[in-house]
Amino acid sequence: MDARPNSPEARDIRYHMHGYTNARKHQETGPLVIEKGDGVYVEDIAGNRYIEAMAGLWSVAVGFSEKRLVEAATRQMSKLPFYHDFGSKAHSPLIDLAEKLVQMAPVPMSKAYFTNSGSEANDTAIKMIWYRSNALGQPARKKIISRKRGYHGVTIASASLTGLPNNHLSFDLPIANILHTSSTPHHWREAQPGESEEQFSARLADELEKLILAEGPETIAAFIGEPIMGAGGVIVPPAGYWEKIQAVLSKYGMLLVADEVICGFGRTGEMFGSQTFGIKPDIMVLSKQISSSYLPISALLINDKVFEPIADESDRIGTFGHGFTGGGHPVAAAVALENIKVIEERDLVGNARKVGAHLQARLRKLASHPLVGEVRGVGLIAAVELVADKATKVPWGKPAALGALVNGFLQQNGVISRNMGDAIAFCPPLIITEAQIDALVDAFERSLDAALPQVHPQGG
């Protein structure tokens, strides 16, 4: 870190409070200041170049500095730099994007509703679900079931959906009417001895049904889940999981919300994660890769079962009393439209499928490494779970210590990733090549080898 009093690092420490950061530790270590981005690479202010193996925050599908997106923003900024959708107002980019999203949805959808982030979108989903229950004359039907280790955002309501302890501790969360399953659909970590993936999935579906019955089916409105859990550790659902879960939801007339914030727009090798796993949601939540996060924008797609009662209730009251100043912002919408065009025209979904297979194969070759417990993933999203002992699956020291150690070495080796506990995640831009995957995995292997002597000093 540059220790000069007026260096960018020193000024960052002085003036900036970071998200998802130990604020005291940051005062000692300072930031990594990123100055440039190009393709799958970013560069810091010292000129060091990194493969951005997390696509920023699971976000930058088309890579950094894509000129078509810059030009789309510039054109729209010069024509209509801002407008809103309150009081029946609209503008062309918003209309075009709404039409595009509804038409490309993997199941029939009725309307698109625009927000600015995945957190806002999931917060809005909760409000829509409650509003709909009241419209249907079911005021008791307000509970929403989320999952242990699921991630759905950080607003008060969406953080309540999130099933990770650090998103609840000292925030006085979760709020009322948000329930969590007792298990995570992680076969490697949570299956019983000898339990197959199908058996594990059946047990989780049975646990869900027991939770519904214990709470009272008439009190539960919806279930929310990511096709693949992202921030919870890139947890790929076991065989039969979504089929069995949806059968329970259908039995009790519950809505299904698919949080596609990470999986949507090609990440899994299909346009949506719902296609990869046969999910048929009533609400889809979209963000991140919708615009490659060049500008903040998110959307909910809702079907007629959700929209029609809401529309009736807004007519009874006189308005749908919810909205965001920047929701469906014309510049963000224009960028999102161009971003989707780039994904389609360059077949980045196909690239995620093809190059993703190479990523998965290369990572799985590391399965015999002494520090690797499990390799998991689909398409261009993966995680490697690190352990000190492969047989017992125990961590090294405190949980997340090994993940942080390896992630530190990985950054030194020119790759920016992220450890979620002791799992190292990989989610590169969809434009990445097989040669760049090789460079990424080679750097990861060197990082594992660098950490090994600290974990097993005697070579055991």
What percent of the chain is modeled with pLDDT above 90?
98
Question: Is pTM, for the whole model, over 0.95?
Answer: yes
Cα angle 14, 16, 19 (rounded to 5 degrees) comes to 140
Nearest Cα residue to 265 out of 152, 341, 358: 341
Sorting pLDDT into bands at 50, 70 and 90, what band is 460?
Answer: low
pLDDT of residue 392: 94
Nearest Cα residue to 301 out of 42, 114, 153, 455: 114
Q: How far from the centroid of its chain's Cα atoms is residue 110's Cα? A: 24
The pLDDT of 267-282, averaged and rounded, is 98
Gap between the terminal Cα atoms of the chain: 35
Nearest Cα residue to 234 out of 444, 418, 400: 418
pLDDT in tens, 141-177: 999 999 999 999 999 999 999 999 999 999 999 999 9
Residue 24, judged by CB atoms within 10 A of its CB (0-12, 13-18, 19+), counts as exposed
Strand residues in 190-265 grouped as ranges (E): 220-225, 255-259
Mode of pairing for the β-strands spanning 418-420 and 423-426: antiparallel
pLDDT of residue 274: 98
The pLDDT of 170-191, averaged and rounded, is 97
Sorting pLDDT into bands at 50, 70 and 90, what band is 459?
Answer: low
Query: What is the rounded distance in angstroms from the CA atom of residue 153 to the CA atom of residue 162?
Result: 6
Q: Which residues pair with 38 in a beta bridge?
A: 41
Residue 317 has pLDDT above 80, yes or no: yes
The pLDDT of 343-347, averaged and rounded, is 98
Q: Which domains does the chain have, with CATH numbers?
A: 32-62+347-455 (3.90.1150.10), 68-345 (3.40.640.10)
Q: How many residues does the chain have?
A: 460
The pLDDT of 347-351, averaged and rounded, is 98
C-alpha distances out from residue 40 to 35, 155, 425, Å: 14, 30, 16
Q: Is the dihedral of CA 158, 159, 160, 164 positive or negative?
A: positive
pLDDT in tens, 356-379: 999 999 999 999 999 999 999 999
pLDDT in tens, 35-63: 999 999 999 999 999 999 999 999 999 99
| Peptide bond before residue 399 is cis, with ω within 30 degrees of 0 | no
